[in-house]
Amino acid sequence: MADPTDLPAAPALPQAPKAPELPPEAPQPPVAEQVAYKRSESLTKLIGALVKAQGVFTSAGKTSDNPFHKSKYADLAAVVAACRPGLVANELSVLQPATSQGARVAVTTILMHSSGEFIESTLHMKAAQDTPQAIGSVITYAR
């Protein structure tokens, strides 16, 4: 048997190409400005019910005045009235809880089906001022 030290040296392996350098990671936005999205594992029943509900939805009447833009718009009550019959008939419900931390406001919209399936998304906005009136306006606007 040959002495292992007498064996010829193995040829050098070719160098793998050097990976390109990645740009520095962009700074993450503050938590208060990140968009949050959640959903149940299954959406099958919720989607089926939503398709049926959308067939019942009516147009929301533009009955409110916007003096700044000299136009009319559908207020939240009109939108809810246009959607509620279709939602209820198809066992769907919408919740929109709001939270605030100073002038930062978060409104979460949760579309739920009686089966327990849900889709949830949170919109974060900043009020012009840290006052109850400004925060209330942002909550209403976000809804």
pLDDT tens per residue, range 71-86: 998 988 999 999 999 9
Q: What is the mean pLDDT of residues 48-69?
A: 92
pLDDT of residue 22: 46
pLDDT of residue 29: 41
Query: What angle do helix axes 44-54 and 76-89 make, rounded to 10 degrees?
Result: 120
Which of 130 and 31 is assigned the larger pLDDT? Answer: 130
C-alpha to C-alpha distance for 52 and 90, rounded to whole angstroms: 7
pTM over 0.75: no
pLDDT tens per residue, range 3-52: 555 655 555 555 545 544 545 555 444 334 455 689 999 999 999 999 99
Calculate the average pLDDT of the chain. 82
Eight-class DSSP state of 99: E
Q: Which long-range contacts (CB under 8 A, 24 or more apart) does 71-80 make?
A: 76/140, 76/143
Band (pLDDT 50/70/90 cuts) for residue 119 is very high
Detail the DSSP E strand segments found in the chain.
36-39, 64-66, 71-73, 92-95, 98-101, 104-113, 118-126
